[in-house]
Structure 1
């Protein structure tokens, strides 16, 4: 990442109150709107390389997940796709964006933007799903009791995660986990300095990640239900991007085959284009930002 661009991008980060909750947002550039939604254990800064590449021709809006910004409280409520979709729409309203947008989702964020297109069809003109979650591959539990899971999280997991001993341990290990799990984050950390690493060591970021993991299967189950009951807008353009792993491969990985199978199912109700990105881990926008920017530009026609 160009170091000179980083301070300017940081100036475009704000934290307005959206639907009663402080929400950190990156809003930079001008042109057609790209609304970007992160996945589990992913923060706003993961989108910086892509935002820098696209801001000259798009208005790039990145929405941080609840609880991931420093100082944000981690509530015990587990995520639901209805609330996640409503939050994205509320962000658009807060920013005064009334025209339909291209919604870009990474990982779990892909499920969120798809749900937004299904539940709020007038607000979405296209979807870009970056290595998005695949319910059939990652496991859904049709018998999951979301209320029981929420109680366990509230009474046991969250108090332990926010305890002092765990906080001390996470402050020591958090930065290494943050950059070790996604090596490309080191470039972002180098450009932003201690800010990113201090956030990685934040107890709230860790606790919010655990909250999202606990609620993940229930959300995947609900995505399956939405696909059966609430269609996408007819002929909605959808770009499905699958990451084939950091090492060279002659054939698509098992994960890529799952993603492409899901894309074929979506093609029955939308206008789906698929692309496989080689030499990339799960975080495509960090591992291959230039290629990802090219694909988004190609898909939107801008």
Structure 2
């Protein structure tokens, strides 16, 4: 579908109340497959889309921000003719986008679920945004020209997924889909641009928290692999503080790595259904 002038890859399945699922940095629609199947079986319409430069979507003409991505979700729902309140879920970086949507479009938000979401208490950037964006574009062009996506893209994807799952489980995605998405420089450039804008997006969400109250019930679902090290304890504490800060229910998925939707799809689906039930 063409949304705001950008061709987006969109997958819509099922019927019933709408759930919108947005994946994290450099991830794709198929990373929600296990969760989507459970939600469709429970009578939900599941909307998944690849953000510009991700999955099978075209590149974005401008670097993305939190409000930009919130508007993209709203425009996508308009294009699909879905005007009722939706449950919106964001994983990792997309947690910023989902929260921005809930704050900017309260009448269109039934519930918000943040899945091992990015969290920044005091976002800081060492370089100006324009310089970071320019450097990301230049690096993306250089990486593509060198042929690295075609040579290393799928292997890099599989290694990143394995490192982000409990027990270093394998990447369940179909190999043909991984090759189709990750052998392209487009996806690498899209991820570099989003990453370059990360501190700006985090700061944007903090500003929205101060200006736009969160009206919908929210859940913060964090993955925990069971470790007791300092990094694991600190991540749990930061996620708990996030839940407290936005008035959300806090839940731990265990055992799970950062890719909670692959490690514990059943718990993610339950959290989404619970959030929607709380809204009604």
Q: Same fold (TM over 0.5)?
A: yes
Paired with 1:43 and 1:51, the residues of 2 have a C-alpha distance of 13
- Does structure 2 conserve the Cα–Cα contact (< 8 Å) formed by 1:103 and 1:127? yes
Matches of residues 28-177 of structure 1 in structure 2 within 5 Å?
A: 28-56=13-41, 57-70=43-56, 72-75=57-60, 77-136=62-121, 140-141=123-124, 145-154=128-137, 156-171=138-153, 173-177=155-159
Cα displacement (A) at 1:250: 10
**Residue 220 (structure 1) aligned with residue 206 (structure 2):** no
- Does structure 1 conserve the Cα–Cα contact (< 8 Å) formed by 2:154 and 2:179? no
Q: What are the Cα deviations for residues 14-60 of structure 1, in whole angstroms up to 9, with x where unaligned? A: xx111111111111011110011111111111000100111021101
In structure 1, the residue matched to 2:2 is 17
Cα displacement (A) at 1:179: 4.0
User: Aligned with 2:255: secondary structure?
Assistant: coil
1:290 to 263, 266, 276: 266
Evaluate the alpha carbon distance shift between residue 186 and residue 26 of structure 1 in structure 2; reply closer, same or farther with a 3 A threshold: farther
TM-score scaled by length of structure 2: 0.88
Evaluate the alpha carbon distance shift between residue 255 and residue 285 of structure 1 in structure 2; reply closer, same or farther with a 3 A threshold: same
User: Aligned with 2:48: secondary structure?
Assistant: strand
Matches of residues 210-289 of structure 1 in structure 2 within 5 Å?
A: 210-233=192-215, 236-245=216-225, 247=226, 249=228, 253-267=233-247, 272-289=248-265
Evaluate the alpha carbon distance shift between residue 38 and residue 179 of structure 1 in structure 2; reply closer, same or farther with a 3 A threshold: closer
Paired with 2:157 and 2:212, the residues of 1 have a C-alpha distance of 41
Root mean square deviation, CA, Å: 2.4
User: Aligned with 1:135: secondary structure?
Assistant: coil
Evaluate the alpha carbon distance shift between residue 50 and residue 176 of structure 1 in structure 2; reply closer, same or farther with a 3 A threshold: closer
Cα displacement (A) at 1:148: 2.7
Could you tell me which runs of 5 or more consecutive residues in structure 2 were left unpaired when the two chains were aligned.
none
Paired with 1:73 and 1:24, the residues of 2 have a C-alpha distance of 8
**Residue 205 (structure 1) aligned with residue 187 (structure 2):** yes
